[in-house]
Amino acid sequence: MTVSAQSIEKDLAELWKAGVEDKAQQLGLQRVYTTNLVAYASDHEEGYRVEQILNDLAEKHPGRYILVRPAADRSEPPLRSYLSGHCLFGAGREKRVCCDLIKLVAQPEIIENLYGFTFSLLMPDLPVEFWWPGDLPYENAFFEKMAQESNRVWVDSSKFKKPVQSLTRLAAFWHSRYPHTFLGDLNWIRIQRWRSLIAELFDGDWSKVLKDIRQVTIEYGEGTQPTRSFFLACWLASQLGWHYLGPRLSEFTDRLTFEATQGNVEIFLKPVPVPDVKRDRIFAVGIATGGGQEGIFTVVRDQDPHCVIARSEVAHKVAFSRTVSFDHLHSNELLALGLKHLEEDPLWKKALAMAGSVLVKPKLTLD
């Protein structure tokens, strides 16, 4: 049977009629779409993981979800579709909402030209989000077309096999190649709480010592890529107007030197032993100020990795101390946070531009 957009829409209509609509009429349910989200999975295993993430995400952001993945082997049909509906039921008889997921499984040569078919399945007059959860592709026609036509593309730099090369490509080419498409990174959202706590340390009267920062130390898990630590360094530099002084990097280094208004600032990316090398985590941030008021401003994970302590000492006296909980954020929670905002994140854009000034320039084409 030939798969078409019309046949999929017809099957969806039948799906909602098959028992769901009767229950919907009793409980006041309705299909609700707040966004379109297209996700690509590189294989069957990743497809299963991404599908579970989309199922969880539907609870907070009901929408038209489309998952695209390659067929497992050449014996499978050129294109298959699978449909599922998601309804959020609660206690009592209050109104709940429903949405749907379309899974497209196709041979690789079909996927290359599947973007038009994919867009024909989207809900009109709603933003289009495209999530690429794996390594940044170098040559992929589906990614290229989706990036050109979507409102925003989500990547996850923690999944990049060569993070320096991928980040420098994004910094150099994204806004010129896809001028109408926003770029988001789930790894940037992962450090949002670190950024907030650091900003809180310098809130109010303490903002005047920002110009006196002389050294920053960011500790991360030994044996992992310090991508998040590097992002944090670029965020600090871009927000405080620092200028990178060192040679452009082809690999992450343990030391970055910036020029500030009151002198040079050294940022150290320090690996520390960790029990689980699979987790690219930040473990501590220490900021030392000079000038007239020497101070130490720190954000440190406690022995309990979900507990973080923010503390500042100025002139050997405690000026601020607060303990907060950092629960692990899963991909569905990261996406939910990102989808709350339809506009581009200006802080991320500035941090990525700073990363581009630190990392070696890529070759002149994106391919």
Sign of the C-alpha dihedral computed for residues 353, 356, 362 and 367 taken in this order: negative
The whole-number average pLDDT for the span 4-10 is 80
Token pair, residue 24, equals 């919907």
Q: Which residue range is the domain that position 319 belongs to? A: 190-325
Angle between helical axes of 5-17 and 20-27 (0-180°, round to 10): 60
The whole-number average pLDDT for the span 57-85 is 90
Spatial distance between the Cα atoms of 46 and 244, rounded to a whole number of angstroms: 38
The whole-number average pLDDT for the span 118-146 is 94
Residue 286 has pLDDT above 80, yes or no: yes
Check whether residue 9 and residue 72 sit in a common domain. Answer: yes
Token pair, residue 93, equals 């008889």
Contacts of 272 (CB under 8 A, 6+ apart): 219, 220, 221, 222, 283, 284
In a domain, 364, yes or no: no
What local confidence, expressed as pLDDT, does residue 296 receive? 95
Q: Is 257 helix (H, G, I), strand (E, B) or coil?
A: strand
Q: What is the pLDDT of residues 295-312, one digit of tens each?
A: 999 999 987 878 999 999
> End of a domain among 88, 122, 150?
150
Check whether residue 196 and residue 285 sit in a common domain. Answer: yes
Nearest to 72 by CA among 38, 42, 52, 40: 42
Quick check: 229 and 236 in contact, CB under 8 A?
Answer: no
Quick check: 188 and 234 in contact, CB under 8 A?
Answer: no
In a domain, 250, yes or no: yes
DSSP string, 125-148: TS-EEEE--SSPPSS-HHHHHHHH
> End of a domain among 99, 127, 150?
150
Which of 11-15, 117-121, 124-128 is the least confident region? 11-15
Check whether residue 209 and residue 293 sit in a common domain. Answer: yes
In a domain, 335, yes or no: no
Spatial distance between the Cα atoms of 11 and 172, rounded to a whole number of angstroms: 44
Q: What is the pLDDT of residues 313-352, one digit of tens each?
A: 988 889 889 999 988 899 999 999 999 998 999 999 999 9
The whole-number average pLDDT for the span 13-27 is 60
Residue 248 has pLDDT above 50, yes or no: yes
| Residue bearing the bigger pLDDT, 58 or 129 | 129
What local confidence, expressed as pLDDT, does residue 158 receive? 93
CATH number of the structural domain spanning residue 291: 3.30.360
Check whether residue 139 and residue 28 sit in a common domain. Answer: yes
Check whether residue 99 and residue 194 sit in a common domain. Answer: no
What is the number of structural domains in the chain? 2
In a domain, 271, yes or no: yes
Nearest to 88 by CA among 168, 176, 23: 23
Residue 79 has pLDDT above 50, yes or no: yes
Check whether residue 236 and residue 120 sit in a common domain. Answer: no
Check whether residue 139 and residue 218 sit in a common domain. Answer: no
Check whether residue 139 and residue 195 sit in a common domain. Answer: no
Spatial distance between the Cα atoms of 125 and 112, rounded to a whole number of angstroms: 25
Token pair, residue 330, equals 């899963």
The whole-number average pLDDT for the span 110-132 is 94
The whole-number average pLDDT for the span 70-74 is 91
Provide the pLDDT confidence category of residue 1 given band limits of 50, 70 and 90.
low
In a domain, 156, yes or no: no
Give me the chain's average pLDDT, please. 89
In a domain, 284, yes or no: yes
In a domain, 21, yes or no: yes
Check whether residue 122 and residue 242 sit in a common domain. Answer: no
Provide the pLDDT confidence category of residue 366 given band limits of 50, 70 and 90.
very low
Angle between helical axes of 44-57 and 331-339 (0-180°, round to 10): 50
Quick check: 203 and 256 in contact, CB under 8 A?
Answer: no
What local confidence, expressed as pLDDT, does residue 243 receive? 97
Sign of the C-alpha dihedral computed for residues 214, 218, 222 and 228 taken in this order: negative
Token pair, residue 65, equals 């979800």
| Residue bearing the bigger pLDDT, 139 or 226 | 226
Helix residue ranges, H only, 243-343: 331-339
Portion of the chain with pLDDT greater than 90, in percent? 67
Residue 367 has pLDDT above 50, yes or no: no
The whole-number average pLDDT for the span 284-297 is 91
Name the pTM for this structure: 0.90
What local confidence, expressed as pLDDT, does residue 6 receive? 81
The whole-number average pLDDT for the span 67-71 is 95
- Surface-to-core class of residue 85, CB atoms within 10 Å of its CB (0-12 exposed, 13-18 middle, 19+ buried): middle
The whole-number average pLDDT for the span 159-186 is 95
What local confidence, expressed as pLDDT, does residue 277 receive? 60
What local confidence, expressed as pLDDT, does residue 282 receive? 93
Nearest to 233 by CA among 263, 204, 253, 205: 253
Check whether residue 266 and residue 211 sit in a common domain. Answer: yes
Nearest to 223 by CA among 283, 286, 133, 166: 283
Residue 20 has pLDDT above 70, yes or no: no
Quick check: 257 and 284 in contact, CB under 8 A?
Answer: no
Quick check: 324 and 344 in contact, CB under 8 A?
Answer: no
Check whether residue 144 and residue 198 sit in a common domain. Answer: no
> End of a domain among 150, 177, 206?
150
Check whether residue 203 and residue 318 sit in a common domain. Answer: yes
Q: Strand 128-131 and strand 97-106: pairing?
A: unpaired
Provide the pLDDT confidence category of residue 87 given band limits of 50, 70 and 90.
confident
In a domain, 114, yes or no: yes
